[in-house]
A = this chain, B = another copy of it.
């Protein structure tokens, strides 16, 4: 069977079946933002890993080494944030082709460590090797949290409110600008801001931790594949449906301005665009007040429902099915 027929998630399910099935200390295994492993009665180790391949995940026409380093760090820190954890250590493996210089690799690590250092996260290992043609990067981040504070994707319950941090769609719009234009030169401030959000996203580590410490959320995920896709992950793993109000989805002024007069509606970027690295989380109605008291940059966008389906409700109360449109590597449904 071809992998494109089975899809990434089907393949992962098959791989999982071949593994050792049970471990009393693996509280969360495959299928969440990070694994959660009990290493002492109270302490939970979080582990996440991401692979970035040249021409698949990044393209040196649109990024430089420093931005790539930053983003490799951001993507993994965001997974720890989505579990409500604190990042502690990282490992990097790299396959480097001949054409890449020492200075370029150091630039990668300048970007990578500027973000890791800001989060007091230390490089403790890795693997560096020669690669044939393309640059290959694999980053692993270890973090920690407490047993009672783990935030998985599976805790959403009907009636819970759905929140997101920040604004959505900026990163996808930034990539669009880069693809059409070759760099930020000569671009207006709005375009530059969107490009910046694509190249140097800021993971919501402090926000994720504050939400976990306040104990107000029932489920959390980071938006790396796009709102429609990541919300679908939460619904599937929680066994629930959802209703999202399109007029509540937070859109930045920059994206509004960029989308004006273009064929592509602004919602397209927000719903299907990946790599925003914002957090999506659900809050039981009795706990929204506690969330508000944290003064975080969050927006309520909808409600968890019974059933399995996710609907988008527009400003005239018209309902339509919202299907996941994010990235499945093998099905190639990427629309960002």
Which A residues are closer than 8 A to B by beta carbons? 1-6, 8, 11-12, 14-16, 18-23, 25-26, 28-30, 34-35, 37, 39-40, 43, 45, 47-51, 53-57, 88-89, 91-96, 98, 100-103, 105-106, 109-110, 113, 116-117, 120-134, 136, 138, 140, 142, 144, 329-330, 332
Q: A35-B124, A37-B142, A43-B39 are in contact. Are A105 and B15 (CB under 8 A)?
A: yes
Chain B residue with minimal CB distance to A51? Answer: B93
Q: How far is the CA of A20 from the CA of B132 in the complex (A)?
A: 30
Residues of B within 8 A of A121 (CB): 20
Chain B residue with minimal CB distance to A91? Answer: B49
CB pair B3 A101 closer than 8 Å: yes
Q: How far is the CA of A144 from the CA of B8 in the complex (A)?
A: 31
CB pair A50 B93 closer than 8 Å: yes
Q: A40-B39, A122-B29, A138-B93 are in contact. Are A2 and B101 (CB under 8 A)?
A: yes
A9 to chain B, nearest CB (A): 9
Q: How far is the CA of A30 from the CA of B90 in the complex (A)?
A: 11
Chain B residue with minimal CB distance to A15? Answer: B109
Cross-interface CB contact of A140 among B8, B30, B129, B140, cutoff 8 Å: B140
Q: How far is the CA of A332 from the CA of B37 in the complex (A)?
A: 39
CB pair A125 B329 closer than 8 Å: no
Cross-interface CB contact of A123 among B16, B106, B130, cutoff 8 Å: B16
A20 to chain B, nearest CB (A): 4
Q: How far is the CA of A92 from the CA of B92 in the complex (A)?
A: 14
Give 18 pairs: A residue, B residue, CB < 8 Å, sorted on A: A3-B100, A18-B113, A19-B123, A20-B123, A22-B122, A26-B122, A30-B123, A35-B89, A39-B39, A47-B125, A50-B93, A53-B129, A53-B136, A56-B95, A56-B130, A96-B330, A129-B329, A130-B332
CB pair B124 A47 closer than 8 Å: yes
Q: How far is the CA of A134 from the CA of B132 in the complex (A)?
A: 9
CB pair A95 B136 closer than 8 Å: yes
CB pair A102 B49 closer than 8 Å: no
Residues of B within 8 A of A122 (CB): 19-23, 26, 29
Chain B residue with minimal CB distance to A89? Answer: B37
